[in-house]
């Protein structure tokens, strides 16, 4: 059977592109450039290795839900039922996955899930302290998962090949997510910690950073990866000495 894709296909793509917001268009363009750059540099081999793909799948379907559930559970424990009412008080991956964030995890090792919403006016402790606790719960869950990965490596110190590669990728990505999410730029968790620690009204600063947040993050990924890679390497060396010595 033959169908003329050239006309209809262009119309579908054109309509899809027109429906995107300016941010979404920028994100799609950047993701495409990252993919082309990665393939040009690595030939696609490291990107598509079975151990790394399994680690990425584990991140998307386990680590991301654990991260977002940690936010939700902390907010609920502090008295705000908003995450439960919105269906985010769950480990079900379908409630948390963001397709663009999942694609970025595959390409650059950093990404995100759909952020959990909560109401600081409903918690039973100081709002600033509550904001810090809710924000930090997510990144700390990634650090805990990385430690779990080290413990599994310790149980099987001589396990070579696929298992070691999978656990190594799983550990590195979780530590990278821990560091990445602590960058004090919206919408990352570190920005909520920053705003909670700053004195006075932070509305103007929050609005300005939110407007350019994703552009700043992409600039970091392209031009200043050391902001992430240096602390990641330090944490990995420290955890390795603690759990694999």
DSSP assignment of 131-199 equals: HHHHHHHHHHHHHHHHHHHHHHHHHSTT--THHHHHHHHHHHHHHHHHHHHTSSSTTSHHHHHHHHHS-
**Dist. CA 124–CA 78, nearest whole Å:** 6
Catalytic-labelled residue, pool 63, 64, 67, 68:
68
Burial 201-234 (b: 16+ CB within 10 A, else e): eeeeebeebeeebbeebbebbeeeeeebeebbee
| Structure tokens that stand for 191 in this block | 């920005």
From CA 219, how far away is CA 102, in angstroms rounded? Answer: 19
Cα 96 to Cα 84: distance, rounded to the nearest angstrom: 13
Q: Report yes or no: 82 and 75 within 8 Å, Cβ to Cβ.
A: yes
Would you call 68 a catalytic residue per the annotation? yes
Q: How far is CA 77 from CA 114, 136, 137, 142, 190, in A?
A: 20, 14, 12, 20, 21
Distance (Å, whole) CA 173 – CA 179: 10
Q: What are phi and psi of 177, to 5 degrees?
A: -65, -35
Q: Which two tokens stand for residue 199?
A: 């004195």
Catalytic site residues? 68
């Amino acid at each position: 059977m033959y169908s003329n894709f050239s006309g209809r296909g262009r119309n579908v793509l054109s309509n899809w592109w027109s429906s995107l917001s300016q941010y979404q268009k920028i994100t799609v363009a950047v993701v495409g450039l990252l993919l082309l750059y990665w393939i040009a540099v690595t030939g696609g081999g490291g990107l598509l290795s079975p151990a790394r793909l399994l680690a990425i799948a584990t991140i998307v379907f386990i680590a991301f839900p654990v991260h977002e559930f940690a936010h939700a559970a902390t907010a609920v424990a502090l008295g705000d039922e908003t995450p439960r009412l919105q269906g985010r008080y769950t480990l079900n991956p379908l409630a948390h996955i963001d397709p663009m964030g999942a694609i970025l995890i595959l390409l650059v090792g950093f990404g995100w899930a759909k952020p959990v919403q909560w109401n600081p006016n409903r918690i039973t402790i100081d709002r600033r302290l509550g904001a810090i606790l809710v924000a930090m719960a997510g990144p700390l869950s990634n650090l805990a998962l990385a430690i779990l990965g080290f413990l599994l490596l310790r149980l099987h110190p001589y396990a070579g090949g696929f298992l070691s590669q999978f656990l190594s990728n799983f550990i590195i990505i979780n530590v990278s997510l821990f560091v990445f999410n602590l960058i004090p730029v919206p919408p990352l968790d570190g920005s909520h910690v920053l705003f909670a620690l700053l004195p006075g009204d932070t509305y103007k600063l929050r609005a300005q950073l939110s407007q350019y947040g994703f552009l700043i993050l992409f600039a970091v990924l392209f031009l200043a990866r050391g902001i992430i890679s240096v602390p990641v390497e330090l944490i990995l060396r420290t955890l390795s000495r603690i759990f694999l010595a």
